[in-house]
Amino acid sequence: MKRCTMAVMGLMLALLLAAPVFGAEAKLQAGDHVAVIGDSITEQKLYSLYIEDYLLMCKPAADLQVTQFGWGGESAPGFAGRMANDCLVFKPSAATTCFGMNDGGYSPMDPGKANRYRDGQKSIVAQLKKAGVRLIVVGSPGVVDADTFHNNPEAATMYNKTLAEERDIAKALAADEGCVFANVFDPMMEAMTKAKAKYGKQYHVAGGDGVHPDRNGQIVMAYAFLKALGCDGNIGKFTVDLAADKAEATEGHKVLECKDGTVEIESARYPFCFYGDPKATSATAGIIEFCPFNEDLNRLVLVVKGAKGDKVKVTWGKETKEFPAAALEKGINLAAAFLDNPFRKVEEAIGRQQGMETPIVKSLLHNLPEYMKFCPEEKETFERVAQTLGKKDKDARAASAAAVVPVKHTIKIEAAK
């Protein structure tokens, strides 16, 4: 009897471990394939590109993959009606959703719109669960720009109220369904308010048309989703002991040489990079001041012990900066201090991959059921086409991952004069 009881308990434990885990405790696991789902803002292939960029380079878990499923003009109910054919055939294990911009109708909220949005999101979540998707992130919509939306601040205020109500619906639904909630609206609103105060009304954060963000607003969207996916932001740590003339590095990094304050390192794990003219909306360097991306998601820490003098000069890549020795003793975030750092970006390969995914999802794969309907005798042929399209996307995802190769870089530490 005792042996039977133990066997039953063992079986129950195995079933529990195998079951999908939903809720706030869910986070990315090695080998996860993330479906980034949304409307035309997703189809811009910017925040989805930044998400994939981060997951491949910063490696919050090993062997992650991303496929984007953006569709211009889409709503939550619209995607719910086509997701089995256009998304679930890719067999993702994690998914993020970002709907609401079109669901709100660009007008004040009413009960009918609220119910359609809620029901559409609920259907999406139910289908994802049924398909075995383990990690589901229900995202809120972002914001419309306070100045460029219809070039009318009053219209922007009206519609941001609608989007905020959709945020609350998405948050409540995520809680009810045991999913993770990604609050895209509030970080974008906060960044937009602060950035405009510094750079002026012409610095749009939700795009020149007031709806589709440029790279500055899209990086804030990526921040919200990466946080929701459970990324902890620990990229690595370098500890340099000048007196002992030695250095250590955490996992993902390897010290090749340390001599007289010059440390050569090989890194297979990258920090996220920011670039461009801070005043330009097409850059990411300016908005980062108003979004805690580096603090929360991008910590590559340098600790220096045994420094002589009160100030220390650090050279990394093309830049040299001075830091108080006491600050270096505690540790500084290299990724935040040196935006222009030695790590090349892998966006070109990811851009090719996600650019291919749009016609695969919106045209080729989406229309296959119609071909099967009119030519049922060719069903096997169309099924092979679907399999081939899936393989082409898989190969493109592999090419994106292969672009992340170990990078050798040097940190030079010397006394400031």
pLDDT digits 0-9 by tens, 202-234: 999 999 999 999 999 999 999 999 999 999 999
* Mean pLDDT over each residue of the chain, to the nearest integer: 93
What pLDDT is recorded for position 100? 98
Q: State the pLDDT at residue 17.
A: 37
Looking at residue 342, its pLDDT comes to 82
Q: For residue 50, is it within any domain? A: yes
Strand arrangement of the beta sheet that strand 234-241 belongs to: 246-249, 234-241, 299-305, 332-333
Mean pLDDT, residues 160-183 taken together: 98
Question: Does residue 37 sit within a domain?
Answer: yes
Measured CA distances, 381 to 87, 252, 385 (Å): 20, 45, 6
Rg (C-alpha) for the chain, rounded Å, is 24
> For residue 189, what are the domain limits?
22-228
| Residue 363: inside a domain | no
CA 387 to CA 268: how far, in whole Å?
A: 32
pLDDT of residue 25: 56
Q: Does residue 130 have a pLDDT over 70?
A: yes
Closest CA to 137 of 45, 56, 229, 20: 229
CA distance 128 to 138: 11
Q: What is the per-residue pLDDT across 25-83, written as a single tens digit (0 to 9) for each?
A: 579 999 999 999 999 999 999 999 999 999 999 999 999 999 999 999 999 999 999 99
- Mean pLDDT across the stretch 371-387? 92
User: What is the CATH classification number for the domain harbouring 192?
Assistant: 3.40.50.1110
Is a pLDDT exceeding 60 seen at residue 1? no
pLDDT band at 341, cuts 50/70/90? confident
The pTM assigned to this predicted structure is: 0.92
Q: How many residues does the chain have?
A: 417
Q: How many domains does the chain have?
A: 1
Which strands, in side-by-side order, build the sheet including 65-70?
65-70, 33-38, 94-98, 135-139, 180-182
pLDDT in tens, 16-33: 333 444 454 579 999 999
* Side chain identity, residue 320: T
- Cα gap 183→172, rounded to integer Å: 12
User: Does the residue 294 lie in any domain?
Assistant: no
- Asked whether the beta carbons of 413 and 261 are under 8 A apart, the reply is yes
Q: What is the pLDDT of residue 309?
A: 87
Residue-level pLDDT at 11? 43
- Asked whether residue 218 is domain-assigned, the answer is yes
Please, what sign has the CA dihedral across residues 318, 408, 399, 361? negative
Residue 287 lies in a domain: no
Looking at 94-143, list the stretches that DSSP marks H as alpha helix, in order from N- to C-terminal side. Answer: 111-130
Give the DSSP letter string of 201-257: TTS-SS-TTSSS--HHHHHHHHHHHHHHTT---EEEEEEEETTTTEEEE-TTEEEEE
Q: Write the pLDDT tens digit of every residue in 9-18.
A: 444 434 333 3
| DSSP-based three-state secondary structure for 309 | coil
- The reply to whether 292 falls in a domain is no
pLDDT at 21: 44
Residue 401 DSSP SS3:
helix
User: Is it the case that residue 188 has pLDDT exceeding 90?
Assistant: yes
Domain assignment present for residue 130? The answer is yes
Rounded Cα distance between 417 and 411, Å, is 18
